[in-house]
Structure 1
Amino acid sequence: MERPGTNRPSAYDQAYYDSAAVDYILRGRRWQSWHELLEWLRSEGVDDPYLAQGELQALRQDVERAAARGAPFDNDADRLWRELKQ
Structure 2
Amino acid sequence: MSYPGGNRSFIHDTTGYDKDAVEYVLRGRTWQSWHEILEWLRADGVGDPHLSQQEVQALRQDMERAATRGAHLSEDPDRMWRELKR
Q: Tell me whether 1:47 sits opposite 2:47 in the alignment.
A: yes
What is the alpha-carbon distance in structure 2 between the residues aligned to residue 69 and residue 54 of structure 1?
A: 23
> Matched residues in 2 for 1:15 and 1:80: separation?
15
Aligned-partner Cα distance in 2 for 1:13–1:69: 23
Q: In 1, distance between residues paired with 2:28 and 2:73?
A: 16
> How far did residue 14 of structure 1 move?
8.3
User: What's the TM-score once normalised by structure 2's chain length?
Assistant: 0.81
| Structure 2: unaligned runs, 5 residues or longer | 1-11
Q: What 5-or-longer segments of structure 1 have no aligned partner?
A: 1-11
Could you say which structure has the larger radius of gyration? 1
Compute the TM-score of the two structures, normalised by the length of structure 1. Answer: 0.81
Measure the CA separation in 1 of the matches of 2:47 and 2:81: 22
Aligned residues: 75
Partners in 2 of 1:23 and 1:48 — Cα distance?
14
Q: Which has the higher helix share?
A: 1
1:29–1:51: structure 2 CA closer, same or farther, 3 Å change rule?
same
Q: Which residue of 1 aligns with 2:60?
A: 60
CA distance in structure 2 between the partners assigned to 1:73 and 1:21 by the alignment: 16
Could you tell me which residue of structure 2 aligns to residue 75 of structure 1? 75
- How far did 1:39 drift? 0.5
**Cα displacement (A) at 1:32:** 1.0
| Correspondence for 1:6 | none
Whole-angstrom distance in 2 between the partners of 1:32 and 1:39: 12
